[in-house]
Structure 1
Amino acid sequence: MKKFIRKSHRWLGLLFSLTILMSSGSGVIHVIMSRTQAAPPSAKPSEAGLNTAAITISPAQAFPDTQPTAINIRNIAGTPHYQAFLPDQTGFTYIDATTGTENKTADTTYAREIASKFLASDEVEQTDFLTSFNREYIGIFRILPVYRFDLADGKGTRVYVSTITGSVTRHTDDKKQFEADIFSLFHKFMFIPNKDLRDLTISAVTGGAFLISILGIVLFFLTRPRKK
């Protein structure tokens, strides 16, 4: 029994040692990221001040034939707009609160203004519109959909913008993303594209590391020196 446990512990330890190395390495990367990367952007809306005196259309006048589930008032291109969530409709409906007319391009205009103000530059380019999470914009950021805007500053600076919250939900660049990619590959096994297979693999290797620890404890007591 001692020989069997010793061999099992040895070979299983060799098999799962790579996982332990990856986990410990990702821990080091996590500490580095916590010291080199800024805190997540504030969820506070970053739009300009709202001129409430310019609002001449009431919500009832703006939406006479439907009952929105929620309404926000947004300052877009210097004009107050109703941002409405309508039943059974994806996306938002924007109504100019000064004229009562619908603005079909308000969402992208609004997103660009948020990105420009956050980055203090008008030289931003929309490069994506996400309705699902991907390898860079992962589930921990929670909010969808979001726009991605890039800044041509030689650093790969980019922001993800939510018009729901009126704020930037993620701010990163090539250096920060390189650190985040290493952490995701080592700690979350993101090199496996299929989530079910990835979860199964993580469960298997962490279970193996747990088994190695149990065998090590058993082996310690089986091989401890006996008192005469």
Structure 2
Amino acid sequence: MNSRLIRKLHRWLGLVFSLSVLIASGSGVIHNVMTRTQSPPPQARPSGGGMDVSAIKITVADAVSKLPGDKPEVQAVNLRGIGGQPWYQIYTKATRGPQYVSAVDGRVDAAMDEAYAAEIARNFLAGASVKKTDFLTAFNTEYINIFRILPVYRFDAGDALDTRVYVSTTTGSVTRHTDRQRQFEATIFTNFHKLGFIPDKDTRDLVLTLLTAGTFLVACLGVALFFVTRPKKR
């Protein structure tokens, strides 16, 4: 084997692909900082406003019969407390989102999903006033795919920290809580760890694969160079 050729390849490829090592080490530093400065993710537990169960007068079957259409195929039914009153949250095969029927009088309310989400957000933020600013059916640069749950509502508190929360009415909980400082750290981590500054996912995955493969190749050349240039036995 030509030791000079291996040495040159190792030197120049090492210089080129050292970028991936710098990016990986940088993301590790940011990750450690985030574990100290950011609270753990919110618990995935229902956080509505409670309910008076004695007020329930309508059965599940009666509530389903109130829905529009003929005999909808029900996939799931939850009992939610919204505004202190019990509501049936009904998922059917024919509709993408939940439908709400009052467990008190059988009233159907199409606007109850957003009202429920707003109540979850207010309770999570200790009663702070919130404003709906988005409804996400796909992931974006702030609410990325590691949070897994869609769709979600975004509510902003409008405070000095620029606090915002993402709420799922399916789980009945806040799925993400962030603010200006937390998002700044998260953006740096995403750009370093996953090359988030590349918008197209296929291109991003290709670059990550090439950088990782290049680093692997440089390591292999280093191992080969060790054996090629080792002192010969007398």
Residues 73 and 94 of structure 2 are in contact (CA less than 8 Å); yes or no, is this contact kept in structure 1? no
Give 3-state SS (helix, strand or coil) of 1:85's partner: strand
Q: Distance in 1 between matches of 2:227 and 2:35?
A: 40
Q: Distance in 2 between matches of 1:43 and 1:219?
A: 52
Q: Distance in 2 between matches of 1:154 and 1:74?
A: 32
- Following superposition, the deviation at residue 97 of structure 1 comes to 0.8
Residues 50 and 82 of structure 2 are in contact (CA less than 8 Å); yes or no, is this contact kept in structure 1? no
Give 3-state SS (helix, strand or coil) of 1:63's partner: helix
Equivalences for residues 1-228 of structure 1 within 5 A: 1-64=2-65, 65-228=71-234
- Following superposition, the deviation at residue 156 of structure 1 comes to 1.2
Task: Name the aligned partner's letter for residue 111 of structure 2.
Answer: T
Task: Name the aligned partner's letter for residue 51 of structure 2.
Answer: L
Give 3-state SS (helix, strand or coil) of 2:74's partner: coil
- Following superposition, the deviation at residue 63 of structure 1 comes to 1.3
Instruction: Identify if the C-alpha distance between structure 1 residues 114 and 42 changes in structure 2 by more than 3 Å, giving closer, same or farther.
Output: same
Segment drifting more, 182-191 vs 119-128? 119-128
Q: Distance in 2 between matches of 1:108 and 1:164?
A: 12
> Structure 1: 5+ residue runs without aligned partners?
none
> Structure 2: 5+ residue runs without aligned partners?
66-70
What TM-score comes out, normalization by structure 2 length?
Answer: 0.95
Q: How many residue pairs align between the two structures?
A: 228
Q: Distance in 2 between matches of 1:84 and 1:213?
A: 56
Q: Distance in 1 between matches of 2:231 and 2:73?
A: 79
- Following superposition, the deviation at residue 62 of structure 1 comes to 1.1
Give 3-state SS (helix, strand or coil) of 2:191's partner: helix
Pairwise CA RMSD: 1.0
- Following superposition, the deviation at residue 79 of structure 1 comes to 1.3
Q: Distance in 2 between matches of 1:141 and 1:154?
A: 25
Task: Name the aligned partner's letter for residue 77 of structure 1.
Answer: G
